[in-house]
Amino acid sequence: MKDAGILNTGNYSDSSAALKEATDITMGAAIDYTPMTTDAKYAAVVKRDYDGVTFGYHMKHGAVVQANGTLDFTRPDALLAACSGLAVFGHTLGWHSNQNADYLKSYSGLQKPAVAELLGAPGFESGLTGWSVFNTGNPSGTATVTATTVANEVHGGTGAMKVVNPTAYTGNQWRVQVSSASFATVSGKDYVITYWVKAANAGGSIRLSLGTAPATGSSQYQGDQTIGTSWQQISFSFRANSSTNTFLFDMGQVANTYYIDDASVKEVVPTTNLTQVALKLDTALNKFITGMVTHYKGTVKAWDVVNEVLSPSGAYRNAVNSTDADPNAKDLFIWEEYMGRDFVLKAFNYAKAADPSALLFINEYGIESSTPKLDSLIALVTEMKGKGAKIDGIGTQLHIAWNTSYAGIDAMMQKLAATGLLIRISELDVKINPSAKPGFILTPTEASYQAAMYKYVIDSYKKYIPKAQQHGITIWGVTDNTSWLYNNGRDYPLLYNADYSKKPAYGAVLQGLRTQ
């Protein structure tokens, strides 16, 4: 049921000015790596209309933490370079999604490999016996796959596999491919594949893929791994969906010479020593937060330290109440399940220690529509500040719809303002087809309803959040077709059409910013 006020749609045809020029509130957009670094028009629109950005993915744990626990800043650094002249808001240091969950489970001892080795001939001590060469480039034979016994080309024992790929098949790792023999698995059980690899030259790339698709929620492909000239161990976990499986090394992406040794497949068994797990996770959390904040100190001046720490009902998050997360998702890792409330406190403490001058935020969704969740968030902030946490502000995501309650938005703004903290609208978008009806077409009338909601949010923020507490507004994306809510054309939640033309929603935001 929509609020009566939603029908007062107004005229939002004036979109002539940049949003950043209409206000002294920092106006931000969430951006993605590929369009910002390769699409000149996308980058130009972002720089024309906004003075700040948030990276949608590339500062998260899963984007930065590698299989061996090291932090790879290559992509966030490149994205930062593409954002010259824009303020970058750091997002996010602690979250349950977009994690390198395989690393965290392995490092913490939460899951450990069993003793029994399932892979035949794992160390290449008998050459390539048990391994099958599937693809050798285009044309076939361009790449070579051989056994090697040269001492500096072997990790352990006396033999290794050597793959020489002289041609880069960009986007086609499968062009050079070697498969293991089949090994026994049990459907529903978890397994880990590990291997050691190095390249003759820096900047190599390898990926592991499964011969049989894993259970729902897992990935059939490992992400591309950047390989240097020193030996590094790579791991890949999956949940079996069959009685046998194989895996393949894919090495077609980058021209290089690769050395692979000591491959292994073992069943994963859970640990019962959760106290030790919590201690190891504390170390991993400290390493990630300290590494991120230190690396970007002086450049990134504000961070989402913890994100979505409350369940949909407003309870402190754990594995049982995380009904908003896919329990089988490969990148899911709920820190709170093992570290308890120390997760929030320690995350803020580590961020403060790394950069005492940075502004530190807690970020949450759904607090405009759930009073219990809003109250729980404010109580949590009060609790953590009482324990010494440096919490400078609260982010309200505001992933809303055209018919979200106006009253709920106003009530939230008033309660957030009463905390005295900095308040930011952190991830604003407005669904126009919230029930995801198929065949949806955005009409002018519906576009005006959406625009009215955007304007109401801006109006409410400016009305109820005192000027000194207004930290900024971020629209969660640029064009409709690149939004996480696009759903193959079932929703159009943002300010620009696919061709970068401005929607009525843009004019509405502009009008709201201009209104005194």
**Using CA atoms, how far apart are residues 221 and 244, in angstroms rounded to an integer?**
17
Tokens of 298: 């002086």
Chain-centre distance for alpha carbon 458: 27
CB contact at 8 A, 469 and 423: yes
- What are the E-state strand segments in 154-311? 160-165, 176-179, 183-184, 190-199, 204-210, 225-227, 232-239, 244-245, 247-250, 256-270, 302-307
What is the amino acid identity at position 214? P
Chain-centre distance for alpha carbon 167: 31
Which residue of the set 153, 267, 427, 446 is catalytic?
Answer: 427
Contacts of 438 (CB under 8 A, 6+ apart): 490
Q: What's the DSSP call for residue 282? A: H
CB contact at 8 A, 76 and 58: yes
CB contact at 8 A, 53 and 85: no
Tokens of 112: 């450990």
427 is annotated as an active-site residue: yes
Residue in this structure with the two tokens 């991993």, named with its chain if needed? 284
The bridge status of strand 225-227 relative to strand 204-210 is antiparallel
Just list the catalytic residues: 427
